[in-house]
Structure 1
């Protein structure tokens, strides 16, 4: 069958093109991709081309499909997997395969397997690993965003604490403790707030910092102090640019004890050092942000590491259990990944979005692969409605959902913005 996809041929060489998919083998699955959210990791792969560890050396001759935060519907199941999967089932994929030690992953390495395509062939290793994950929720975008949410959840699960005189690590944030999310008013930070408020293990105090007041205002609108209080969490949003003494100001929110858990969501030296300085006894800092500078470093208080003792670690990505938790919570309405989404577009806008991602403000950019639509900020739908009544309807649906994307908006888009042949 024919599909249309955005494929990488080399450094800064992306092409939207039609090509034929082969017939699936008995150990493969054919699927229709509905949505794919754009990740900064894809941008990094595109600017590096074959130099990227996940992109094959022969990509110029054998291009690979981009996109790894995708969701869709199973179309045809090879004989080997017919007792486990059926056509019509919704799915997401845990993309961090690490199959037999290989770095290859969807969105980087496969000729027929990725997210920025109308149809894809899921290879056998995905099913063998148990990484083809069924999704019981309504909206496809929630399943797409399960991958970035799983990274957030993985960060919460990877952070740890110790016991004096016992050689054990207690994994996870301190339940009923004090947590700080630094530089966290961006898309991943919003997901981290959502999870902190609605997961089974919650802090008693949650402090969110940023230096961008409009982003903080949006976060406060999405997650009110009243809603947090109903979850048993005391929530504070702090613009640290307005504090004369950031460390002192943040510590005062803990009654001077410091924080049990600190997450740094931006690769900024000053932010990393602030995170270290606000740790309390046995506090743990998770440096979640991924720097592009291989020499990135910051000062650390080793006195506190030795005597307090504080801990510093980092996490990147989540595992299949983290992703299953995200899918389950989203399907149950406990998480709302739509808080991350600020732009929506069709497959025709994916290549340009990827190549210019660092320069496009806002949060997650969501691509619907079966339609043609210029990448559009949600806030611009009303204006576009002046020339197209479909956008007026979409703007109304978004406005009725606190300015957020929704299952209703997705359904209307898919039903009314068909690809032009």
Structure 2
């Protein structure tokens, strides 16, 4: 059965739709009632991710290719305004942060606890599943995590970003006394730095060419450098967040024997790494694919002030001006947020 149209006066809504490279358009779309197991979320803030920029500029991000109109937006939260048949009516009005990853719970990967590796997963805001740059979105009720009123809409959206960083820090094996190198001072790198300290790292060095991002990293306790070549020591783990080929290659040379190289940034489809250093030092190389079971942990860390999310927001845009997130570059940008229903 097709989703039911609303019968009240809010039958249509605005959506920002990507039709191809550098072709974003506002459109009117039908508002659909949530189905069983779903809730309808009135969207609050939506974060603009690097992958969103790749979709706009290149028509693809990693292996995902835009072949039909797509609503972007996978970093988001909002307020539940309707529940599907049989749903908990008490949740109406609750503010939430939404996990955009939807895996098959019966897949072999989900059964072993790695639902982020399910090859059949759906993901809001990537080809095949419209995202949150629209006024309302129906989401699985179990993907909508309650947040306290003390948590901002922007922070609710950034739970997704922090979750990626948390997965990387976990794979890096950060513990008391760890020495960590992070390449890239965007949101992923800055959140990874904060999380590394929370896990007990004694030193975090962050490499980033943009001075404003270095200053932000320093405010979190990082030692900073503008150039990887000037970092002349080895680390227990490197967390590579740029996706830049030469940075990925050279960061591997900064890993101590028996250490780990963690790749979060995607970049080009093919990449080079220094195999003699990898083999002779027995460096473990690990990719990071999204996250699994992170939302409650991250919400608690943000709500209790152990992670600073809000200070990373460098620009906010009303929905009417959302296209500027792609067409008007901000040289000091860390994170741009779009306020959809304000």
- TM-score normalized by the length of structure 1: 0.68
Please give the per-residue CA displacement for 1:129-176, whole angstroms capped at 9, x wherever unaligned: x322222243111110000110000101123xxxxxxxxxxxx22432
User: Within 5 A, what are the aligned runs for 1:35-54?
Assistant: 35-47=45-57, 49=59
CA RMSD of aligned residues (A): 2.7
CA contact (8 A) 2:54 2:60 kept: no
User: Within 5 A, what are the aligned runs for 1:115-130?
Assistant: 115-122=132-139, 126-127=140-141, 130=142
Q: Against the structure 1 CA distance between its residues 3 and 202, is the aligned structure 2 distance closer, same or farther, given a 3 Å change threshold?
A: same
Structure 1 residue matching 2:307: 3-state secondary structure: coil
User: Within 5 A, what are the aligned runs for 1:239-254?
Assistant: 239-240=226-227, 246-248=230-232, 251=233
How far apart, in 2, do the equivalents of 1:178 and 1:218 lie?
19
Greater share of strand: 2
**Structure of greater Rg:** 1
Structure 1 residue matching 2:207: 3-state secondary structure: strand
2:259 alignment counterpart: 283
CA contact (8 A) 1:54 1:104 kept: no
Please give the per-residue CA displacement for 1:370-415, whole angstroms capped at 9, x wherever unaligned: 23xxxxxxxxxxxxxxxxxxxxxxxxxxxxxxxxxxxxxxxxxxxx
1:109 CA displacement: 4.6
2:171 alignment counterpart: 158
Structure 2 residue matching 1:149: 3-state secondary structure: helix
2:114 alignment counterpart: none
Structure 2 residue matching 1:72: 3-state secondary structure: strand
CA contact (8 A) 1:261 1:285 kept: yes
1:386 alignment counterpart: none
Structure 2 residue matching 1:145: 3-state secondary structure: helix
Q: 1:334 aligns with which of 306, 312, 318?
A: 306
The count of residues paired between Structure 1 and Structure 2 equals 318
Tell me, yes or no, if structure 1 residue 310 matches structure 2 residue 294. no
How far apart, in 2, do the equivalents of 1:240 and 1:360 lie?
18
Structure 1 residue matching 2:272: 3-state secondary structure: coil
Structure 2 residue matching 1:32: 3-state secondary structure: strand
Tell me, yes or no, if structure 1 residue 71 matches structure 2 residue 89. no
Q: 2:122 aligns with which of 78, 85, 104?
A: 104
Q: Against the structure 1 CA distance between its residues 55 and 265, is the aligned structure 2 distance closer, same or farther, given a 3 Å change threshold?
A: closer
1:177 alignment counterpart: 178
Structure 1 portions without partners, runs of 5+: 160-171, 229-234, 252-257, 372-421
Please give the per-residue CA displacement for 1:152-205, whole angstroms capped at 9, x wherever unaligned: 00101123xxxxxxxxxxxx22432211112x33332221222222x2x21112
User: Within 5 A, what are the aligned runs for 1:130-145?
Assistant: 130-136=142-148, 137-145=150-158
CA contact (8 A) 1:276 1:301 kept: no
Q: Against the structure 1 CA distance between its residues 146 and 278, is the aligned structure 2 distance closer, same or farther, given a 3 Å change threshold?
A: same
How far apart, in 1, do the equivalents of 2:248 and 2:38 lie?
45
Q: Against the structure 1 CA distance between its residues 104 and 158, is the aligned structure 2 distance closer, same or farther, given a 3 Å change threshold?
A: same
CA contact (8 A) 2:185 2:206 kept: yes
Greater share of helix: 1
Please give the per-residue CA displacement for 1:203-260, whole angstroms capped at 9, x wherever unaligned: 112222233344323432x32xxxx4xxxxxx4223337xxx6353xx2xxxxxx311
1:23 CA displacement: 3.1
4+ residue segments displaced more than 4 Å: 47-57
2:202 alignment counterpart: 204
1:238 alignment counterpart: 225
How far apart, in 2, do the equivalents of 1:110 and 1:211 lie?
35
1:367 CA displacement: 0.6
1:294 CA displacement: 1.7
How far apart, in 2, do the equivalents of 1:15 and 1:175 lie?
49
